[in-house]
A and B are shown apart, each in its own frame.
Chain A
């Protein structure tokens, strides 16, 4: 049963993206300032820096294959495979899949029906021998952080004991052509929070992490979930709020539920896409929240904006970084934008406490924030 004393732990994580496979290996590459973004020509003819990870494998369904591989890596780290349909615990488990466009390559090839997200979810159920199709959260680029929040909420209210949160998105001609049409792509690798930032770099990745109320399930927990919040900008379908209203509300809700204040936050892993307006919106919001002093970074200079994977991927990597007391520099932030000022890490930094604030914001004006204590 749900109780106030219930601890919700995170662990059994795995990531694969432009910097390789395995959370520890990817963090190590980041701490060595490795950038996984490479220039390529995008539909329409322009050049953009892109974080490729899967396309060279020439698979018909690259995302499905990568998600199944990620699930296997996560399950292998559990003391018992509670997610298997054969487990007595299976009815008390769920998988939540965070994605924006799923297996969009199928639509590019004319198979719209198979490209639908429920179709991908059902193939994941079958391929991973799950007792139910994954719950699909699709809130644009806030999906991953929101999926972790939903997982924790559903454990807290007693609906499930264990939830595997998966994030995944591909770099596709579909998304590249769209972002190119918005003139939103950076030719050079994206430079979040830099004065000269001029757009996003798209990346592809999958990431998975298990949330559980059973400490014995996770051999080496990464963190303890504290609280989360969400908020809408209610402003514009594709542009962030100038006031950061939705993000302020999301973080404010998470703080209220946790009983914490800005002083308790040890590290902010921001959304930091490298677009002029997003990063400014975040600076305004964190300023309003009194968090200018908190060591802040964006991971997107390393592997790009991985859309629906981003919140899951970046939460996992941030928790690994906090465990090692080594926060990656915000790659590309060489000449910090001055207003409003944030404590953006230009070199490897250390957290002020073990509490991570992870935020994400997306099209549609949705914002999500989660607080996790690193173990």
Chain B
């Protein structure tokens, strides 16, 4: 039986933990994420070298890792991570491609973020998390599947908890699709203490309402 230990959401410039606002940031995406970085008291200079997507995933998951650290959890070995998104690295892909399209030189610092799993990479680096992780890309979270994967990480792969997080950023200027969106929702789940978690409950955390 999987239980929800805690959850975070980052939407509309607010970062919340278990439904309670932790911090608020104003302005455009970059400005807002920087304000949240300051508001939650992060001191991690690498943050400013990351692309927006990695910053979003790192910020939204931060309160859950802090909670785990405070509880003495074995973050190095026993915390699984499933990261999810729809747009992959699309916004950064466009940033990489624009100068190349114009015949200019690509930026290596931008290119290394043109993958959907960079958020997971930055989270595992920041927290020294060596355990199981996977990055899935889908139109919307398949929460029944996600709970199956998380349960298997705990049951057979030696994880005590799994963090499941959706974070998505989509830059619209070159697209016909939806306008710019920025949203993240993360759930910390485990077999121990917590409230029973159903796919519907997970869906509510991982999707923008």
The answer to whether A and B come from one shared complex is yes
The verdict on A111 contacting chain B, using a C-beta distance below 8 Å, is: yes
Cβ contact within 8 Å between B112 and A363: yes
Residues of B within 8 A of A112 (CB): 90, 93-94, 171, 174-175, 177
Residues of A within 8 A of B137 (CB): 116-118, 136, 138
Cβ contact within 8 Å between B121 and A364: yes
Residues of A within 8 A of B14 (CB): none
The verdict on B152 contacting chain A, using a C-beta distance below 8 Å, is: yes
**With known contacts A153-B152, A236-B125, A238-B112, A137–B139 Cβ distance under 8 A:** no
Cβ contact within 8 Å between A232 and B115: no
Residue of A nearest to B118 (CB): A364
A139, A146, A257 interface centre (most CB from chain B within 10 Å)? A139
Interface size class of B (residues with CB under 8 A): 35 or more
The verdict on A108 contacting chain B, using a C-beta distance below 8 Å, is: yes
Name the contact of A139 in the complex, choosing from B96, B105, B117, B175 (C-beta under 8 A): B117
The verdict on B129 contacting chain A, using a C-beta distance below 8 Å, is: yes
Residues of B within 8 A of A173 (CB): 100
Q: How far is the CB of A162 from chain B (nearest CB, A)?
A: 16
**A43-B152 Cα distance, complex, nearest whole Å:** 44
The verdict on B136 contacting chain A, using a C-beta distance below 8 Å, is: yes
**With known contacts A100-B115, A110-B174, A118-B86, A234–B149 Cβ distance under 8 A:** no
Q: How far is the CB of B41 from chain A (nearest CB, A)?
A: 22
Residues of B within 8 A of A59 (CB): none
Cβ contact within 8 Å between B117 and A140: yes
The verdict on A298 contacting chain B, using a C-beta distance below 8 Å, is: no
For the A-B complex with A237-B121, A237-B122 known, give 15 more contacts whose Cβ atoms are closer than 8 Å: A112-B174, A115-B90, A116-B86, A117-B88, A118-B138, A121-B139, A178-B96, A178-B108, A181-B105, A182-B111, A232-B129, A234-B128, A249-B130, A253-B158, A366-B117
Q: Which 9 A-B pairs have the closest CB atoms?
A: A364-B121, A178-B111, A113-B177, A181-B106, A112-B175, A238-B112, A118-B139, A138-B116, A232-B124
